[in-house]
A and B are shown apart, each in its own frame.
Chain A
């Protein structure tokens, strides 16, 4: 268990069998009274947020969280299967946990999986991945400006904004945190 005095921004706590992250924190102590620890919390599974105030005497649950280094292997139609880097144990992750990250999975990518009571709740992908552009309007030769963009589609149907000079078949680098184009790696 945690004490209220352990609370700080970034701490992960457990309430009613759910893991919550403290996203904002303030200590307050009105009029010589008992201390209050005011938190904004974010549910680490659903993403919902709430405000909660703890008193000095409160005890707070400590979630069993584990982060494991994994390699992405394959998809079986229901789940995405990763294998533990050290033990080779297979970890099954549902697509709703991956969210938008589904679009940036690449075989053998080194990922981090966060487990809560042994269940995967979050997957962190490599910051940059490379994908081939499947469809886009033909490039404008010589136009190297990067601030004018056009839509393009990846093989998996994900749509991304790219500069005008990018063509179908080009390999581009994508930032998985934002889902945005970073640069062209090689031409088709």
Chain B
């Protein structure tokens, strides 16, 4: 095996930029270790795609005859079979017009799918992943993030979207959805009430906001979806994946209509994905984690620009 001459020990006055590079590299290795140990295979799916996944509020950047991917979701789900039942990917995704303290139009996504799991199983898995990353990179379960101590070792707060609205707002989920105030309420009233010392899981979204999540078996108005918040930052999104081709097609069409009405570009429906659902994709769960935001937390940075090497 090739062994290069060992690199000189890093100097103590390493620049912030290079500290970021080192941290990012160590994080990538830890994530790969975690998934390889758990029998996942690492995949690469196209970055340039014919059509992006249809979502009400996600806009894609055009590239050549197609688009840059907004997420690797559709291609990754097409890979799932009985003999390829655990896959993960780390790579760039692109979203048009998203630029802010927590957003950059190009960002790094960690995404994984596992057959036989639902959204609660994958919640246990991300708990293990985050604790593993902390134990290796932070030397414990606690770190300081923006003047607060974040502890991932204890019990995580869990609340449903409905109970969040009940506890923190004077309106209901359906009322807020009807008058277009859902996001404003979420940001101003609910997220701001989350603990910054413990991870928070916001779960069971209204089915209208479930995009590609399956409906709960107990309540068809609820999507099996959660969002994880660390230190107040939205860090990951997960579904029990919708695998019913008819239902998926209805949702894509509804989204296309919504985008048409809202004067947003309407992307073609991904027929190959619908075909794959018709051929049969096994019951599975998937999770997408914003790696740059996780790096913000691990390095105690306020803005995503501080952890992206070239921005």
Contact = CB atoms under 8 A, between A and B. Distances in A.
Given A32-B55, A33-B57, A57-B262, 12 more contacts: A26-B100, A27-B101, A28-B100, A29-B57, A29-B103, A30-B191, A30-B234, A32-B56, A34-B183, A36-B184, A55-B180, A57-B180
Contact of A31 (B98, B209, B262): B209
Contacts of A5: 97
The 9 closest A-B pairs by CB, nearest first: A27-B100, A33-B183, A34-B57, A30-B186, A31-B227, A26-B100, A26-B101, A30-B183, A30-B187
A34 B56 contact: yes
B211 interface: yes
A129 interface: no
25 contacts: A27-B98, A27-B99, A28-B101, A28-B103, A29-B100, A30-B183, A30-B186, A30-B187, A31-B183, A31-B186, A31-B202, A31-B234, A32-B56, A32-B57, A32-B58, A32-B209, A32-B237, A33-B57, A34-B180, A34-B183, A35-B98, A36-B187, A53-B187, A55-B184, A56-B57
Contact of A35 (B97, B186, B209): B97
A118 to B, nearest CB: 34
Interface residues of A, number: 17
A57 B102 CA distance: 21
B273 interface: no
Contacts of B205: 31
B181 to A, nearest CB: 9
A36 B183 contact: yes
Contacts of A34: 56-57, 180, 183
B67 interface: no
A55 B234 CA distance: 19
A26 B101 CA distance: 6
Contacts of A38: 187
A180 to B, nearest CB: 32
B215 to A, nearest CB: 17
B182 interface: yes
Interface residues of B, number: 27
Contacts of B209: 31-33
B57 A35 contact: yes
Given A53-B184, A55-B184, A27 B57 contact: no
B188 interface: yes
A36 B189 CA distance: 14
Interface of B: 55-58, 97-103, 180, 182-184, 186-188, 191, 202, 205, 209, 211, 227, 234, 237, 262
B222 to A, nearest CB: 15
Given A5-B97, A56-B57, A33 B102 contact: no
B223 to A, nearest CB: 11
Nearest to B202: A31
B55 A53 contact: no
Contacts of A53: 184, 187-188
A35 B202 CA distance: 19
B165 to A, nearest CB: 13
B116 to A, nearest CB: 25
Contacts of A56: 57
Nearest to B210: A32
Contacts of A57: 180, 262
Contacts of B186: 30-31, 33
Nearest to A54: B184
A34 to B, nearest CB: 5
By CB atoms of chain A within 10 A, which of B183, B184, B202 has the most? Answer: B183
A36 B57 CA distance: 11
A125 to B, nearest CB: 35
Contacts of B188: 53
A56 to B, nearest CB: 7
By CB atoms of chain A within 10 A, which of B55, B97, B211, B262 has the most? Answer: B97
A176 B183 CA distance: 44
A31 B173 CA distance: 14
B282 to A, nearest CB: 24
Contacts of A36: 183-184, 187
Contacts of B99: 27
Contacts of A35: 57, 97-98
Contacts of B234: 30-31
